[in-house]
Amino acid sequence: MLNNKIALITGASRGIGYIISKIFIKNGAKVVGISRNEEELSKAKNELGENFFAYKCDVANEQEVAETIKSIKNDIGRIDVLVNNAGITSDNFLIRMKEEQFMKVIEVNLKGTFLVSKEVAKLMRKQKQGSIINISSVVGIEGNIAQANYSASKAGIIGLTKSMAKELTLKGEQIRVNAIAPGFIKTTMTENLDEKVKNHVVENSCLKKMGEAEDVANVALFLASNLSSYVTGQVIRVDGGLKL
């Protein structure tokens, strides 16, 4: 499905990003993985093999992002698919949340998506084609208690996705931009949730279970491939029919 495609994935060294990398490689892509954690990147490289190319980069740092994308262009030549997956949480109730706590999440999740997309879009416009996949969240649509910062960042990604989808076709380019909004997925980010919270999620979903990282990765595979050649500006929920 992705034969000979070059896919750049942020936050690729663990969780959903790692599984997306694994599934993309399995389907013929070469994956360029970005992460701030050099140790985790090295581990991912050892596990995923010769078709995984690791680059250390903080997506919230404008200079680092610009230099990293330039290096990728020089080393590999092009980027066909971008998956903006890098993200963090820092939960607290609104009245207790410090400005620093709010801005840290916005910087990584929303600003990071903007910075990487900006640089990659320059390459894709020259190529006249590409697919950008932004990882949002159902809480960016519904909101969530004690996650004002995370919800705001993921809602911002949805707005960014729709604007990018319109801008990046202004000169006839075939650059598709879509978002995936996962629900509660089994990852290191959710494994420490209180059992009562997990049970609530399960009971309030149509499918009565939490999702797997593979569920998100398979939708990303669809959006990265030519199977979705007429899909752009969309937000696809992968949440088992969750009712928050």
Is 152 annotated as ligand-binding?
yes
18 is catalytic: no
Is 224 annotated as ligand-binding?
no
CB burial readout 8-26, b (16+ within 10 A) else e: bbbbbbbbbbbbbbbbbbe
Is 35 annotated as ligand-binding?
no
Q: What is the CA radius of gyration of the chain?
A: 17
Choosing from 18, 55, 150, 230, the catalytic residue is 150
The per-residue DSSP string of the chain comes to --TT-EEEEETTTSHHHHHHHHHHHHTT-EEEEEES-HHHHHHHHHHH-TTEEEEE--TT-HHHHHHHHHHHHHHH---SEEEE-------B-GGG--HHHHHHHHIIIIIHHHHHHHHHHHHHHHHTEEEEEEE--THHHH--TTBHHHHHHHHHHHHHHHHHHHHTTTTS-EEEEEEEEE-SB-STTTTTS-HHHHHHHHHTBTTSS-B-HHHHHHHHHHHHSGGGTT--S-EEEESSSB--
Is 46 annotated as ligand-binding?
no
Is 185 annotated as ligand-binding?
yes
Is 150 annotated as ligand-binding?
yes
Is 44 annotated as ligand-binding?
no
Is 85 annotated as ligand-binding?
yes
Is 176 annotated as ligand-binding?
no
Is 11 annotated as ligand-binding?
yes
| Residues in binding site | 11-14, 85, 150-154, 185
Write out the binding residues for NADP(+).
11-14, 85, 150-154, 185
Q: Which residues are identified as catalytic?
A: 150
